[in-house]
Each structure stands twice: as C-alpha cells, then as structure tokens.
Amino acid sequence: MIWALIKGTGTTAKCSELIIIECNPKSKRNGYSAVSYMEALDKGLLLICNSELFMQDNASVHTAHAVRA
C-alpha cells in the first residue's frame, strides 16, 4: 500500500513523498495491522502533518489501542 499526505488546494497544494506500507506477516491473512500503520506514521506522515488536522477513516488499524497511545 502506498500513502501520501496532500495539503492545500489548487496551485498551493503540496504533497509528501510516497510512503510505502509493508504488510505485517503476523497479522490476519498477511495484511495490514496497527503495527503497519504506526510504522507509516513514523516514516513520515506525522512529521509532515505537524499539528494540523489529521484525518483518517476509523479503520480498526487506525483506532487500535496501541495507535491511540
């Protein structure tokens, strides 16, 4: 899976570098997990976001206890 952060609109829009999210072999069906999500956040999504509004879709990997902590 590949993620990026996009901020702004029109000609002032800025985009982060692409962040590749690796599957977690320990998760169900070798998919993505809270661990995968936290690694993506550490790779740069949180650094780019600063203290601005951060939106996500309430998927279980986004709202896991470890992620919220």
Q: Report the pLDDT value the prediction gives residue 39, as an integer from 0 to 100.
A: 82
Domain coverage including residue 46? 2-68
AA letter at 22: E
Task: Give the chain's domain count.
Answer: 1
What would the mean pLDDT of 48-61 be, rounded to a whole number? 67
Q: Hey, how many other C-beta atoms are within 10 angstroms of the C-beta on 28?
A: 8
Q: Report the pLDDT value the prediction gives residue 47, as an integer from 0 to 100.
A: 67
Q: Is there a contact between 61 and 36 (Cβ–Cβ < 8 Å)?
A: yes
pTM beyond 0.85: no
What would the mean pLDDT of 32-36 be, rounded to a whole number? 82
C-alpha closest to that of 19 among 5, 7, 33: 5
For 12-24, write each residue's pLDDT tens digit: 887 778 888 888 8
Q: Is there a contact between 62 and 45 (Cβ–Cβ < 8 Å)?
A: no
